[in-house]
Structures are given as structure tokens and as C-alpha cells.
Amino acid sequence: MVKKIIITGVTRGLGRALAEEFIRLGHIVAGCGRGSDGILDLRFKYSAPHSFDVVDVSNPTKVGIWGAKTMGFGETPDLLINNAAIMNAPAPLWEVPSEEFARLVDINITGVANVIREFVPAMVAARKGVIINLSSSWGRGVSPKVAPYCASKWAVEGLTKALAEELPEGMAAIPLSPGVIDTDMLRLCWPEGAEGHAKAETWAKVAAPFILQLGSKDNGQSLTVAGFEG
């Protein structure tokens, strides 16, 4: 069955790889990202019914406009993936500028809530669908110099588990750790070790089928894509 999939943060990294793998598998993807160049590239590569828009998820007005456009076709999403996130420049917590901390929280936590607020009511009304909020091993453990990122992913874990208890039977909300993948984000905080791990495209070939089989039986569970635990 063809699924309608919403993904945030599709211009690069895991989001881009997931979007392209879902499309390859025959599903319909509506994605957003902050980078206009990346969005234009996706638009040229994948025509309708797929759609891609420049959206800053931390801005509820812009998320609302995107949601109205995306939901205007009358199709309730089968799968909503909150992937958009940023990493702080590695530093002890007391050295992280307040503006950088606030921006990270706005995208990594508030952005997730903004997207949920826009798309989940229709899913609840239809009593169907799966919400995947991308977490991290740093949402279940910690490392030095990435305290803001750890805090945001711990928040995603708690937010998602609480949401799971609010959903009607038949739906699911799942905090999903992708595992350890060689991305720009990992290279920022672990430059000497990132290249030893799988690339995003390799990961997506496993992650996409894994995500597609998730359902109400997995509601509220903290999961990790198998084989990429690190």
C-alpha cells in the first residue's frame, strides 16, 4: 500500500536519505527543510505527487502555512517523521552562548511540537497513523560538550512517550534513535570517528523498511534502527 509520508529536515543527512528511499520504495513524500538550494534540488528531482517546501519548523506560522498546503489535498498522513534538528558547537555547557542554546531548543523541541500540532489532529480524527520523533543515543545517555543537544533529545523522548499515552487506539508515537551514522552532525562533534560508520544512504535502506513496519504495537517504545547501535 502506498503511504503518504511527512518528513522534516529533508535537505541533507538522514532526512534526505530517508525521503529518497521512501520515494524509491513507491511512497509519496512531502518534506520540508531550511535550505532553499536543497529544496529546489528535490523539486527538480521529484515531481508531484511529491512536494518539498522551505520551512523553519521553529516558526509556528510557517509550519501552519506548510501544513495547510500539504493537507489541502485531503489526504491524512500515514507517517509523520520529525527529523529536523541541529547540533551545538561542541563546548562545555557554560561556554555555549544563550542564543545558540535557544536556537537549538526552538528547532529540536519546539519545532517537533509545532509540526505535531499541525498534522496530528487529522491523524487522530482518522484514528490512524504513526508519529516518529527522531531521538538519539544522546537522548538516552550523555556525552561532554553536547549538553544542549542531549537535553533536547531527552526532551524528545519524554514528549513522545507522553504523546503515546494521549493517542487513540490504533495509532503510535515512537522515539526512534537512528543509531550512529556518518553525517555532518556527527562529524561536527566526533570528527576523528565519524567516517568509520555507515553513510546516511546505506542506513536509509535499512531504516525505511524498519520504520514502515512500525505500528500500534510499538506505541511509546524507545527504539533504535537495528544494526546501527554503535
The answer to whether 17 touches 200, Cβ cutoff 8 Å, is yes
State the catalytic residues: 149
In terms of CATH, what superfamily is 4-224?
NAD(P)-binding Rossmann-like Domain (3.40.50.720)
The per-residue pLDDT for range 124-156, each reduced to its tens digit, is 999 999 999 999 999 999 999 999 999 999 999
Q: Is the pLDDT of residue 210 over 90?
A: yes
Tell me, what's the pLDDT at 229? 67
Angle at Cα 135 formed by Cα 89 and Cα 83, nearest 5°?
80
Separation CA 197–CA 86 (nearest Å): 20
Residue pair 220/161 in contact (Cβ under 8 Å)? The answer is yes
Average confidence (pLDDT) over 63-72? 93
35: burial class by Cβ within 10 Å (0-12, 13-18, 19+)? middle
Residue 226's pLDDT is: 85
Chain segment 75-106, per-residue pLDDT in tens: 799 999 999 999 999 999 999 999 999 999 99
pLDDT score of 45 more than 90: yes
On whether the CB atoms of residues 214 and 162 are closer than 8 A, the answer is no
Q: Give the CA distances from residue 15 to residues 73, 164, 179, 189, in Å, rounded to whole numbers and listed in that order.
A: 23, 23, 14, 19
* pLDDT tens sequence across 160-201: 999 999 999 999 999 999 987 765 565 555 555 546 556 889
Domain parsing of the chain, residue ranges: 4-224
Q: What pLDDT is stored for residue 53 in this prediction?
A: 98
